[in-house]
Amino acid sequence: MKDSWKFDTKVVHVGYQPDKCTGAVSQPIVPAVAYAFPNADAAAAVVSGQMEGTFYGRYGNPTTRTLELKIAELESGEDAIALSSGMAAISSALLAFLQHGDHVVVTKDIYGGTYNFVTQMGSRFGISHDFVDCTNLEALELSIRENTKAIYVETPSNPLLTILDLKQIAMIANARGIPLIVDNTFMTPYLQRPLELGADVVVHSATKYLNGHGDVVAGVVVASSKVIEFIRKRIAGDLGQNLNAWESFLILRGLKTLGLRVRAHCENAREVAAFLTTHPQVQALHYPGLMSHPQHELAKQQMDNMGGVVSFEVKGGLESAKAFMNQLKLILISFSLGDPETLVQHPATMTHFSIPPEERLQFGITDGLIRLSVGLEDAQDIIADLQQALAVIGEQMEQMEHPKMNEVVNASVE
């Protein structure tokens, strides 16, 4: 029967049954660090992996294990590990396959934290990399070397919402025996399931839509049982990246409304994008739901909806972007996304600041680019706030174009 359940049913029920001892419907929070065993042989069997069980908090706990099993099933994966941040998930997934002397291919339009890890931490470990336009499959193939041990992509990408053809990239990777790692944070398993399209590993910043309430920092890796076991014992366990029981519980609670929330995010984002397409102060708009988006048709094939993020470029560059953000009344300036609140950020000075300016421009991240995580407020209220803030840019540009006329007007008023 479970196999025929729709997503909204699965996200509530899979991975957990009412507690056998208490009958509790909600997942119990088990914050224990240590766990007792009936005898020495049982303890040894759990530690060695011969018997299922929990033996120390750094390697997981029962509450977190429920979360892992639920997300693995939602993503159509064998197993999952929940970690202390999205970057813990990204770094663990990469280090599961990369070591000194290896090479990784990374899509060029990437989250700033991932860029930092690949360029700075990766280089310290002796791992080389290439940033590649993965919409160009020929360029992707040419970038693969003998020592390439992983391909890492985001789709949609952060912040330009570039859509990559996961089926085709997976075919290229699988033909060479190279694992394909996909950051699925923007989509969630409700809108896109990369493992079903041929990917080997999925990572999430569970801080975002999976939790959905802005009160948890967490990450998840979904992959084969073998890969997850290696990450749990040799990477996350040794580096101390474990997720605690309380935050696992909050994500489990948030997941129950994932479908409801994401549908609302998508609908609001669609209305916001429609408004921005007509605004004279917006010179570029990035949203896969628009027919003008270069991968619009691919997005319709690969994704079940277009997501809750809209990125756009305002006229006037950095100063206009700052003036726009400072004028917002309802929308909050914040680094995160996927929360109930509509959040705005300026990639060039915030999430992608660490990327050198010349590289940012090569990636398409201009000084006028704004990333908007559309929240759950009424769409018309969000649009009204955008409209009044964009009007400030128009007034500034008009003053710059006609300074003498404005001086005359001001003098007559005085």
Among 70, 208, 315, 360, the active-site one is 208
Q: What is the DSSP string of 122-189?
A: HHHTT-EEEEE-TT-HHHHHHH--TTEEEEEEESS-TTT-----HHHHHHHHHHTT--EEEE-TTTHH
Q: Specify whether the CB–CB gap between 202 and 75 falls below 8 A.
A: yes
Among 65, 111, 190, 315, the active-site one is 111
| Total number of residues shown for the chain | 414
Among 8, 16, 35, 58, the active-site one is 58
* Known catalytic membership, residue 111: yes
* Known catalytic membership, residue 208: yes
Which whole-number Å values give the CA distances from 148 to 88, 124, 132, 133, in the listed order? 22, 17, 13, 16
**Integer Cα distance of 98 and 116 in angstroms:** 16
Among 183, 339, 367, 385, the active-site one is 183
Q: Specify whether the CB–CB gap between 306 and 289 falls below 8 A.
A: yes
Whole-angstrom Cα Rg for the chain: 23
* Known catalytic membership, residue 287: no
Report residue 149 as tokens.
């041990």
β-pairing verdict for 309-314 and 282-286 = antiparallel
3-state secondary structure of 265: helix
β-pairing verdict for 128-132 and 148-154 = unpaired
Q: Specify whether the CB–CB gap between 215 and 250 falls below 8 A.
A: yes
Please enumerate in sequence order all residues whose Cβ is within 8 A of that of 79, keeping only pairs 6 or more positions apart, or say none: 68, 69, 72, 222, 223, 224, 225, 228, 229
Catalytic residues: 58, 111, 183, 208
